[in-house]
Amino acid sequence: MQEEKIYYSRIAALAGDIYAMYSVDLRDNSYTVYKSSQEDNYIGIRREEKDFFEETTRMISNVIYSEDLDGFCKNITKENIIDKATKNGSFEYEYRLIVDDKPSFFRYKAIIIKENDEEKLIVGLINIDAEVRKEKEYAENLHQVVDLAIKDELTGVKNKNAYSQAEKVLESQVAAGIVKSYAIALFDLNGLKYVNDTYGHKVGDDFIKNGCKIICDAFPHSPVYRIGGDEFVVIIQGEAYNNLGFSMGYIEAMNNKNMVSGEVTIAAGMAKGNVDLTVNEVFVQADKNMYEKKKQMKY
């Protein structure tokens, strides 16, 4: 037993934070467990038990994180483990156990080996909590970096870089026949230079945010992009495409209201796409329509 303790300590040191190791006789499910003690980070306590699968099912509900119990019971069965280990060379499953009153991530790994012409299932229970949390932190940080790269800091809508990406995706979808009906609408806030020169850039920033809100309210189910200081573009598809007239009418109604109150007004232009036009050609037409509207509004 002392020799086994040394061997398993060496295995644990090589393999990582092993919480427990089991050697299961597949003929009768009897097993030997080598479990790490509270004082040591290696496997050293040897204990022989009767039925590995029955005892695992019976005891797991007391130590597993409640949200992971159903998945564990579904996956950790003798039939499933043997089937996956035989097909793939090993079986792996991740779940959380309650350690020090908080959920910690563990990996259940099993392989089948032959010892003296007898099949044994070797199971390792590995504490991967630090590894998983580090990966999650990395993923969250990466998401934040990506979000910053495509998000307009002032308004919170997507930026010009995000529109360039969306334009490429839409182009490929139209070419593949995935998207047949869409429209692009361009918007230019009237009088931003006057506001900045007269009242300062802080008021100008509020002016931009107010104009952006009007556009977002008009197109609540479509992506809005800020592509310039006072310029915005919206890609309209699906149900929003069917409500295009209402959305453009909302912009017009807000213009009529804000002309009286002296608040932000918006020059808007829209063009519908089809398979004979590139997305950029639709954009150019919408831009042209927007500047025609701007002339009519005498800006």
3 state DSSP class of 129: helix
Q: 213 pLDDT exceeds 50? A: yes
Pick the CATH number of 2-131 from 2.60.40, 3.30.450, 3.40.50, 2.40.50: 3.30.450
Token match 């020799």: residue?
3
Q: Domain 143-296's class?
A: alpha beta
pLDDT reported for residue 137: 83
Confidence of residue 47 (pLDDT cuts 50, 70, 90): low
Q: In what order do the strands lie in the sheet with 43-49?
A: 43-49, 31-36, 18-25, 118-127, 102-115, 91-99
Element (H, E) at 190: none
Across 36-43, average pLDDT: 43
Domain ranges for the chain, please list them: 2-131, 143-296
* Residues 82-93 pLDDT 10s: 999 999 999 999
Rounded CA-CA distance 287/299 in Å is 15
d(CA 242, CA 124) in angstroms, rounded, equals: 57
- pLDDT score recorded for residue 166: 94
Residues in a beta bridge with 126: 18, 107
Q: Tell me how far apart the terminal alpha carbons of the chain are, to the nearest angstrom.
A: 90
Residue, of 46 and 261, whose pLDDT is higher: 261
Over the range 68-102, which residues count as b (16 or more CB within 10 Å of their CB) and which as e? beeebeeebeeeebbebbeeeeebebebbbeeeee
Res. 71: pLDDT tops 60: yes
3-state DSSP assignment of residue 126: strand
Is residue 6 predicted with pLDDT exceeding 90? no
